[in-house]
Amino acid sequence: MKKFLEKLKKKQDLSFYQSKSAFNLLMNGEATEDEIYDFLTLLSIKGEVSDEIAGGVYVLRDKSKRVNIKNCIDTCGTGGDGMNTLNISTASALLLSSMEIKVAKHGNKAVSSKCGSGDVLEALNININLEPKEIEEQIDKNNFGFMFAPNYHNAMKFVGPTRKKIGKRTIFNMIGPLSSPALVERQVVGVFDKKLLKIFANALNNLNIKFAWIVNSEDDLDEISPYAKTNVVQLKNGKISDLIIDPNELNIKADNFENLLGDDAKFNASKMIDIFKGEDNDFSKAVCLNAAAGLIVAEKNSEFKDAYEAARSHLLSGKTFEYIKMLQNGW
């Protein structure tokens, strides 16, 4: 580990292979607490690059429990945007599943907000403590499975105490959303900082992702926003390109950011049920925008406007509420 720390002290980037070697030491319990602390803080001070993130993701995936399922997407963001919004990406994942898109959702309980994906799914009476075989069965049967991160990444136990001691974002906030135990090849990833868009795209390209959208809105959401333009970096078959989603061009007409503010799991789940029943508000529009991105990366639609309208029509029909009742009864 010392050679990697010396390099980071000089503010030199690690290669993909050096990053893999360093993370293997961390995840095998072969680094001391002081070495872990220095490694994470020095990376943060220098600024993490795509090869370092990809190396961490490679090791975390390699050491996780494996879910063997094909043709799934994931909608999982970094969090950390500080906005305390409702659970937009989780709601969009459930909407997509109700539209017969297979979703292997990877997530956790609240870290930087009041209510994480695990919290709100529990409040919806959806089981989050499933083993890999059960996840595979549920995705085959119902198009949706949730992989609760602490149950799948046992190697994280070696770095958990040090992360708490550091008390702020580290590279693990970036590699977590990319470390799906299902090894998904299609993903919508929200990031908390515009600077991470290209970094994430390059990291995912190192990991053989077929199609991903990495998004950050100009009003600082790690989601596609119904209020402001959203910057998108698209990775498709090894090619990286830039897009902008403009809610004005889509005639969204969302007007009050407070309508997106969340609270505890019970509150957020009730707001989710309202839109699943067909209530039309700013939250439903935000969910449809992000579900549209899922339809694009799943290659069910090629035009974003068509994808948005398909998601919106399905959500307003109330069919997603019927689907949720089936999930609640069928697990």
Same domain? For 159 and 304 the reply is yes
* Helices of type H across the chain: 2-9, 16-27, 33-46, 50-62, 88-98, 117-123, 132-142, 149-152, 160-166, 172-175, 196-206, 265-276, 282-297, 304-316, 319-330
**Section 207-220 average pLDDT:** 94
**Section 89-104 average pLDDT:** 97
Compute the distance between CA of residue 83 and CA of residue 216 in angstroms, rounded to an integer: 13
Q: What b/e sequence results for 43-77 when a residue is b if at least 16 CB atoms lie within 10 Å of its CB, and e otherwise?
A: beebebbbbbbbbbbbbbbebbeebebeebbbbbb
Contacts of 168 (CB under 8 A, 6+ apart): 44
Same domain? For 16 and 117 the reply is no
pTM of the model: 0.94
Does position 331 have pLDDT exceeding 60, yes or no? no
Same domain? For 247 and 116 the reply is yes
Same domain? For 132 and 29 the reply is no
Digit-coded pLDDT (tens) for 258-279: 999 999 999 999 999 999 999 9
Compute the distance between CA of residue 258 and CA of residue 85 in angstroms, rounded to an integer: 9
Check residue 168 and give its pLDDT: 82
Residue 174 lies in a domain: no
Mean pLDDT of all residues belonging to the chain: 94
Residue 308 lies in a domain: yes
Same domain? For 184 and 234 the reply is yes
Same domain? For 50 and 188 the reply is no
Same domain? For 100 and 48 the reply is no
Check residue 31 and give its pLDDT: 96
Check residue 112 and give its pLDDT: 56
Check residue 113 and give its pLDDT: 67
Say how many domains are in the chain.
2
CATH code for the domain in which residue 11 is found: 1.20.970.10
> Bigger pLDDT: 168 or 305?
305
The secondary structure of 173-188, three-state, reads: HHHHHHCCCCCCCEEE
Compute the distance between CA of residue 252 and CA of residue 306 in angstroms, rounded to an integer: 13
Write out the residue range of the structural domain in which residue 118 sits: 73-169+180-330
Check residue 129 and give its pLDDT: 94
Same domain? For 158 and 39 the reply is no
**Section 271-289 average pLDDT:** 98
